[in-house]
Amino acid sequence: MIFPLLLLFVASPFIILLALLFVPYLTELILSDHHHRPPVVGPITNQLIHFQKLYDYMTSLAKRHKTFRFITPSHSEVYTVDPVNVEYILKTNFANYNKGEYNNGIMRDLFGEGIFAVDGDKWRHQRKLASFEFSTRNLRDYSSAVFRSNGVKLVKRISLLAAAENSMNLQDFLMKSTLDSIFKVGFGFDLDTLSGLDEASNRFMKAFDESNSLVFWRFVDLLWKLKRFLSIGSEADLKQNIRIVDEFVYGLIRNKREQMQDTNLHRDKEDILSRFLLESENDPENMNDKYLRDISLSFVIAGKDTSANTLTWFFYMLCKHLLIQQKIADEVKTETEADDDTSIDEFGLKLTETALEKMHYLHATISETLRLYPAVPLDGKSAVKDDVLPDGLRIKKGDGVAYMAYPMGRMTYIWGDDAEEFKPERWFHNGVFQPESPFKFTAFQGGPRICLGKEFAYRQMKILAAFLVHFFKFKLMDESQEATYRTMFTLHMDKGLQLYAFRRY
């Protein structure tokens, strides 16, 4: 008699968990059509099962339903690839779809009250300040000079490996180069992580990437709050990584404040953190170091991860399509008027804004990369009130509502029968590059939250891509291996991009 009772006691939490998961799922499954709700494709645990290939799993579902949902114990998580719904969520009824407490609760430990995680006054305040910064000519010129300088460093670093015929992880180099750039432009510091000598910045970069992955895991881990309370498993790892991130960023803020106090020149600084610190002098209570830390990390993920990940997939696709790689190299050579004897430093001087603006095929190829491999593969909101989407499906208050950039790039009804082909030419109309609607091409979001750094990102990616394609031909170490992603907030290539570089001239 004791053994069955003991067994029941041990099994009770598991039984309760199953009931919490499957009773709401079965109820919603039965009532879905009757209430004109998005079709139910499963309990949220399905995402856990398919987590390693989550975005491809979501693509397979999106090919059957333009809009669908998973059931959690407390609410529905709705996903859509319908451009009409996307425009409605991001623009037409923007006020009803914010980040919400559910998303913010998951993201807060890492992103805090940074622009990607907050709504309302704090979002508007940060966006207003950032919008002013990104619109200044000084920042554009300063950032372009930084990108060119780091492009020179990157080419020189790769040249050593090419001369020795050694392989490399290009994703790692790109991550370090873009991190160096965002710290110089954003914070006014030379990290020089590309040299591999700065151990603190290397630890920060690794901890930040791990934190990104572990926080995203919370969306499918129903026990993450309990694990955080007990400080075990993934939550214990996350706490340790965030501690490393915080130490680095708070140290950065302290150093910048001391630097500004020690000199009379700080008000002429072009870097973004200096300007935010000047703003904090007017409101020290609200713009404290914690708030500045959150803002700083938002710039890091925007300036490092998105550009580096996109360029990683860009070079992967160039290795798969050698004719496209050559076509870009020819365009870069023509528009810069560089020749076979142009040195690395001389090429940087030839890579002017005018030359970059003429590189339409390079711009199209980066856009095509973002179509198939968007830096942010899906983005979630939360419904403030009950609503009805343009397709007639009902949304309830508290539902998660996400648009899916990764699956959208693979939908034939959006991009045509060749949607899954890598084809930069699709971006041209009568020989001229033709941008697409941000609600069809959602890599930079749309509506009031559209990415302020879009042109900033394109400029950085085009400069680094032009440098590398001009001086090198790239070949995958294993041409038979298909690259896969690591499931996290940004589309990070799993295990990096292993390839060989060969001098072009």
User: Positive or negative, the Cα torsion across 100, 103, 106, 108?
Assistant: negative
Task: Read off the pTM.
Answer: 0.91
Average pLDDT of the residues in 464-477: 97
Bridge partners, residue 429, by sequence: 432
Q: Long-range contacts made by residues 205-210, C-beta under 8 angstroms, separation at least 24? A: 205/175, 205/176, 205/179, 205/304, 207/240, 207/241, 207/242, 207/244, 207/245, 207/248, 208/241, 208/245, 208/297, 208/300, 208/301, 209/488, 209/492, 210/237, 210/238, 210/241
pLDDT digits (tens, 9 = 90+) for 107-139: 999 999 888 888 888 888 888 877 777 777 888
Enclosing domain of residue 200: 2-503
- pLDDT for 21 equals 56
| Residue-level length of the chain | 505
pLDDT digits (tens, 9 = 90+) for 95-113: 999 999 999 999 999 999 8
- What are the percentages of helix, strand and coil residues in the chain, rounded to 5? 60, 10, 30
Phi-psi region of 431 (alpha: psi -120 to 50; beta: other; left: phi over 0): left
CB burial of residue 492 (10 Å; 0-12, 13-18, 19+): buried
Bridge partners, residue 476, by sequence: 499
Q: Which of 211, 283, 281, 195 is nearest to 246 (CA)?
A: 211
What is the edge-to-edge ordering of all strands in the sheet holding 498-503? 168-169, 498-503, 472-476
- pLDDT for 196 equals 65
Bridge partners, residue 475, by sequence: 500
Q: What mean pLDDT value characterizes the chain?
A: 89
* Alpha carbon distance 168, 190 (integer Å): 23
- Token pair listed for 418: 């060749």
pLDDT at 34 over 70: no
pLDDT at 168 over 80: yes
pLDDT digits (tens, 9 = 90+) for 285-313: 778 889 889 988 888 888 888 999 999 99
Q: 470 near 336, Cβ under 8 Å? A: yes
Residue 268's pLDDT band, with cuts at 50, 70 and 90, is very low
* Alpha carbon distance 315, 307 (integer Å): 12
H/E stretch holding 433: strand 432-433
* Alpha carbon distance 377, 443 (integer Å): 8
- pLDDT for 20 equals 57
Q: Which of 322, 373, 330, 365 is nearest to 462 (CA)?
A: 365
Q: Which of 363, 345, 350, 377 is nearest to 465 (CA)?
A: 363
DSSP symbols for 374-423: -SS--EEEEESS-EE-TTS-EE-TT-EEEE-HHHHTT-HHHH-TTTTS--
End-to-end CA distance of the chain: 83
Side chain identity, residue 23: V
CATH of the domain at 452: 1.10.630.10
Number of structural domains found in the chain: 1
Tokens 């991001």 belong to residue: 90
Average pLDDT of the residues in 324-336: 97
Tokens 């397979």 belong to residue: 60
* Alpha carbon distance 66, 76 (integer Å): 16
- Token pair listed for 53: 């290939």
Output DSSP code: residue 78: E
In whole angstroms, how far apart are CA 473 and each of 314, 318, 424, 467, 489? 13, 9, 19, 11, 31
Helix (H, G, I), strand (E, B) or coil at 68: strand
How do beta strands 394-395 and 400-403 pair? unpaired
- pLDDT for 397 equals 96
- pLDDT for 301 equals 81
Query: Which residues touch 30 (CB under 8 Å, ≥6 apart)?
Result: none
> What phi and psi values does residue 149 have, to the nearest 5 degrees?
-60, -45
* Alpha carbon distance 279, 286 (integer Å): 11
Average pLDDT of the residues in 275-282: 80
Q: Long-range contacts made by residues 287-292, C-beta under 8 angstroms, separation at least 24? A: 289/250, 289/253, 290/112, 290/113, 291/112, 291/113, 292/253
Q: Which of 177, 156, 102 is nearest to 345 (CA)?
A: 156
* Alpha carbon distance 124, 136 (integer Å): 19
Average pLDDT of the residues in 332-353: 95
Residue 166's pLDDT band, with cuts at 50, 70 and 90, is very high
Output DSSP code: residue 434: -
